[in-house]
C-alpha cells in the first residue's frame, strides 16, 4: 500500500504538470468516484494550480473551489504518459488529458482507492493527525498522543488520526530503528524512547523519499517507475530473515490485525 513516501514521490514526479490545463477527463468505471461536490466534467478547461499531499492523499488544486483528491488504496497508481501513447495497462479507471502533451492515468486493480471531486478538501483532513515531516511533529506531540494509551505503539503509529501517512512498512521500520518492540503499550514509552522514535520516524520516511519510495508489487511513481527503498528495508516483510544487527531470526506477529516484523533481541 502506498504510504507517505510513495505518495510524496508521486506528487514530486507529477509537479511538472502544474500550470497545465485539463483538456478532457474520461472514466472507464465511475465507482472509483467516492465523492463529488460538483460535476467531474467541470474540471475541463481548468488549470492545475498546485499538487499537494496530506497523509496518504494527493490533492490537485484546480480553480478556486475545485480540488481533485486521489487516494491510491492498496494497489492504485497515478502517473503521466505521453498523450499519444496507447494505454496498454489494464484496470485504468480514469484518464485526464492535459494541454502539455501528457495524460494522467489512474489505475487500481483492487479498487480500494478512489477519487474525490471536492470544493473543500479540508473536510476530510481536519481530523487527521499531524504530518510527521512537519515542524509540528515534535517530541511533545508524540508524547501527548501516547500518554496513558494501552494500545500497542505499532497500532498507534498506524492510526491516521494520530499521525498522518504512516502504514505497515514505515511503522515496522521506525520501531526497529528506535529499538522499540511494536507490541509495547504506547503509554509505557519513556521520554528517551519517545525521542528516539520520533527521530526514527522522520529518518525512515525521509530515507524512503530519497529512494523514491518502496515497491513491493504495485507502487509506481508519477512516471510509472518503481521505487528503490525496498533494497534498504531492515525488517518489513523479512520473514525468517536474520536481524541485520544481531543475526537472530526476526519475529513475525500479528499486532492490531497487521503482520509485524521485529527483532526480539534488539527491540525492547
Ligand atoms: Zn537484532
pLDDT tens for each residue of 120-161:
999 889 999 999 999 999 999 999 999 999 999 999 999 999
- Answer yes or no: 258 catalytic: yes
Predicted local confidence at residue 216, as pLDDT: 82
User: Tens of pLDDT along 82-111?
Assistant: 999 999 999 999 999 999 999 999 999 999
Q: State the catalytic residue, choosing from 56, 103, 220, 238.
A: 56
Task: Give the pLDDT score at 152.
Answer: 98
Q: Which of 23, 199, 225, 258 is catalytic?
A: 258
Q: Say what the pLDDT of residue 123 is.
A: 85
pLDDT of res. 69 = 98
56 as an active site residue: the answer is yes
**Does the annotation count 3 as an active-site position?**
yes
Task: Tell me which residue of 96, 78, 86 sits closest to 28, measured CA to CA.
Answer: 96
Residue 192 exposure: Cα atoms within 13 Å on the Cβ side: 2
Ligand 1 midpoint to CA 234 (Å): 10
Q: What is the mean pLDDT of residues 201-226?
A: 94
DSSP 250: P
Q: How far is the CA of 247 from the centre of ligand 1 (A)?
A: 6
How many Å apart are CA 70 and CA 179, to the nearest integer? 34
- Ligand 1 centroid to Cα of residue 232, in Å, is 16
Mean local confidence (pLDDT), 193-221: 95
Question: How far does the centroid of ligand 1 lie from the alpha carbon of residue 141, in Å?
Answer: 29
Q: pLDDT tens-digit profile of 231-256?
A: 999 999 999 999 999 999 999 999 99
Annotated catalytic residue, options 3, 6, 8, 173: 3
Domains and CATH numbers, the chain: 4-125 (3.20.190.10), 139-262 (1.10.8.50)
pLDDT tens figures, 53-77: 999 999 999 999 999 999 999 999 9
Q: Give 252 Cα–ligand 1 centroid separation in angstroms.
A: 13
Percent of the chain with pLDDT over 70: 100
Q: State the distance from the centre of ligand 1 to the C-alpha of 118, rounded, in angstroms.
A: 47
Burial readout 104-119 (b: 16 or more C-beta within 10 A, e: otherwise): bbbbbeeeebbbbbbe
Distance (Å) from CA 218 to ligand 1 centroid:
29
Amino acid at each position: 500500500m502506498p504510504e507517505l513516501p510513495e505518495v510524496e514521490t508521486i506528487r514530486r514526479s507529477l509537479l511538472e504538470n502544474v500550470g497545465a490545463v485539463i483538456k478532457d477527463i474520461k472514466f472507464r468505471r465511475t465507482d472509483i468516484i467516492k465523492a463529488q461536490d460538483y460535476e467531474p466534467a467541470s474540471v475541463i478547461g481548468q488549470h492545475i494550480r498546485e499538487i499537494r499531499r496530506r497523509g496518504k492523499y494527493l490533492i490537485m488544486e484546480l480553480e478556486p473551489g475545485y480540488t481533485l483528491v486521489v487516494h491510491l488504496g492498496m494497489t492504485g497508481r497515478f502517473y503521466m504518459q505521453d498523450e499519444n501513447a496507447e494505454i496498454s495497462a489494464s484496470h485504468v479507471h480514469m484518464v485526464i488529458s492535459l494541454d502539455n502533451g501528457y495524460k494522467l492515468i489512474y489505475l487500481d486493480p483492487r479498487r480500494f482507492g478512489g477519487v474525490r471531486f471536492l470544493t473543500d478538501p479540508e473536510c476530510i483532513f481536519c481530523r487527521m493527525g499531524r504530518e510527521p515531516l512537519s515542524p509540528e511533529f515534535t517530541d511533545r506531540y508524540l508524547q501527548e498522543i501516547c500518554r496513558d494509551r494501552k494500545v500497542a505503539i505499532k497500532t498507534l503509529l498506524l492510526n491516521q488520526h494520530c499521525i498522518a501517512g504512516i502504514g505497515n512498512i514505515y511503522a515496522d521500520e521506525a520501531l526497529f530503528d528506535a529499538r522499540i518492540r511494536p507490541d509495547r503499550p504506547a503509554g509505557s514509552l519513556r521520554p528517551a524512547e519517545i525521542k528516539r522514535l520520533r527521530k526514527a520516524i522522520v529518518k525512515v520516511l525521509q530515507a524512503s523519499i530519497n529512494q523514491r519510495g518502496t515497491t513491493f508489487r504495485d507502487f509506481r511513481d508519477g512516471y510509472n517507475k518503481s521505487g528503490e527503498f525496498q533494497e534498504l528495508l531492515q525488517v518489513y516483510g523479512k520473514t525468517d530473515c536474520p536481524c541485520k544487527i544481531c543475526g537472530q531470526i526476526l519475529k513475525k506477529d500479528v499486532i492490531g490485525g497487521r503482520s509485524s516484523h521485529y527483532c526480539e533481541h534488539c527491540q525492547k
